Amino acid sequence: SKKQSKLVGGAAASSQLLDALSDEKAALTQIAADWIESYREDSEAALCELINLIVRLTGCPTRVPQEAVFEASGIGELLEELQAQTLAALRQQRTQEGEYDDLLAGRTKEQRRQRRSVLQFVRSVVVDGQHHVVFGEASAGSRLSPFSEVVLQWLATMGGASYRPFRHVSTLVALAVQSALASVRAHIGGELQTAQRQLEADARASKRRGRGQAGGQLRARVAALSEHDELAAAAFQALYDTVFIYRYRDVHAMVRAECLVPLAAWCRAHPAAYLKTEYLRYFGWALNDRDARVREAAVVAITGPLLQGKAPAATPGTVGSGVGALGIADAADKSVAAGLRPFVVRFLPRLVQVAAGDVDQRVQVAALRLVTQLARLQYIDAGARVGDIRRLKPQKADKARRRSGRGARPTYSSSLSQQMLEESSDDAAEDSGSDAGAADPAFDVHVLDADDARTDSAVLGCPRHTV
């Protein structure tokens, strides 16, 4: 006999959260506050509504009942059934599977607004309700809260599905949660440093007065803050290990590109935790991606969120817009500069190659702006002539590229890159106040040395793409 479906269809499958977030006049902070209050009263019902919001964002016309939301072993089977029902509905509408996208992939003004509303709601839930949804009572056999546990189970399973809308939506929601957790950790880190300084000052004062140990309340506060930071870090790392590192290598370029702007936001929001080679290397790998959208997203992410601490403009068709604004917080420029220097030392030659002649003009212009900005921020030796990049000669591989119809490298004598590089070269010469000699055409720009006198400039290979 045919197994009975657990899914609910028809009018009963509607999502109250999705309806509320679709209202252009709705107050997102109030919607998030109402959900947090409902979570305090009945966590299972609130989590069921949140999971069904995620499911409906993929375009599925059905609803997952509450009892099935918490059956971790049955999530994969439910997703297969959801996919089958969605594709059946698409066939009825005579829509090809390849032509269908989830509700967060649209490029119209209304679709982008809905995308921002959903992701901002997710961030507000985590940030404003952190004491309940992140630091609440842990689930049985786990350090994570019920919220973190259930959301992780669903997002990780959806991220490994073969159906692209599942992977795309789960990636965006996971990145929004991680961006919020990075902001939470940054705030906790500031409070923890203050409490530790107060505790040290109190200990010195007590020692001068000849008293015993003092500052019991301060020690308790330091312990509580440290525990909260560990819980937030554990939730972040769980999503990083199960969603990010796999979706960064997704077979679809759109999903790969979505990962880069939020990654820059984490590094900027909490440099002490995330401005490290472990995370920065993904930008270098993305510069070698075969798809222009991914290379552009990497360059834009470094230029805006990472260097300037602001989100890129949400222009139509720009992959990554909507998530970049999440979790970006002001940080000490010196901390960012110090953390970025090893990355710049290693990957600047590749950035220069992209700026000099990427086959995609959008990527090339973005890279030119980034190289110019790096020069102004003194990541590049003031004595180097950035304009000498134009002396690079096209490689022989470009002939095969032209024959295959993939486009040709621009001609430097009349290209936009030469004009912009000449202008940036003149600006750099004026700023340095000295006239640099002709640069060696075999090497484009001189990179400021890091700790080592010589640094290997070879670019790491891009990881393989996976489903």
pTM of the model: 0.79
How many CB atoms lie under 10 A from the CB of residue 150?
A: 22
Nearest to 306 by CA among 284, 329, 272: 329
How would DSSP label each residue in 11-23?
GGG--HHHHHHH-
**CA atoms in the 13 A half-sphere facing the CB of 246:** 19
- Tell me the residue type at 356: A
Nearest to 185 by CA among 263, 266, 296, 251: 266
Q: How far apart are CA 55 and CA 165, in angstroms?
A: 10
Nearest to 17 by CA among 127, 154, 117: 117
pLDDT of residue 310: 63
Nearest to 225 by CA among 249, 251, 194, 192: 192
Tokens of 132: 């309940």
- Tell me the residue type at 159: G
pLDDT of residue 136: 86
Q: How far apart are CA 433 and CA 429, in angstroms?
A: 6
Contacts of 268 (CB under 8 A, 6+ apart): 275, 305, 306, 309, 328, 329, 331, 336
- Tell me the residue type at 348: L
- 270 close to 186: Cβ distance less than 8 angstroms: yes
DSSP state of 241: I
pLDDT of residue 312: 62
Residue listed under structure tokens 């890279």: 367
Q: How far apart are CA 97 and CA 403, in angstroms?
A: 32
Contacts of 80 (CB under 8 A, 6+ apart): none
For every one of its 467 residues, what pLDDT tens digit does the chain have, with 9 covering 90 and above? Answer: 345 556 655 444 577 899 999 888 889 999 999 999 999 999 999 999 999 999 999 988 888 999 999 999 999 999 999 998 888 887 777 655 445 667 888 888 888 899 999 999 999 999 999 999 999 888 777 889 999 999 999 999 999 999 999 999 999 999 999 999 999 999 999 999 999 998 888 888 877 776 655 578 888 999 999 999 999 999 999 999 999 999 999 999 999 999 999 999 898 889 999 999 999 999 999 999 999 999 999 999 998 877 776 666 544 333 443 333 333 344 446 677 778 888 888 898 899 899 988 999 999 999 998 988 888 877 776 555 545 444 444 444 455 454 544 444 444 333 444 444 444 445 444 444 433 333 333 333 433 333 333 333 333 444 555 55
Contacts of 411 (CB under 8 A, 6+ apart): none
Nearest to 263 by CA among 294, 300, 301: 301
**CA atoms in the 13 A half-sphere facing the CB of 381:** 15
pLDDT of residue 306: 78
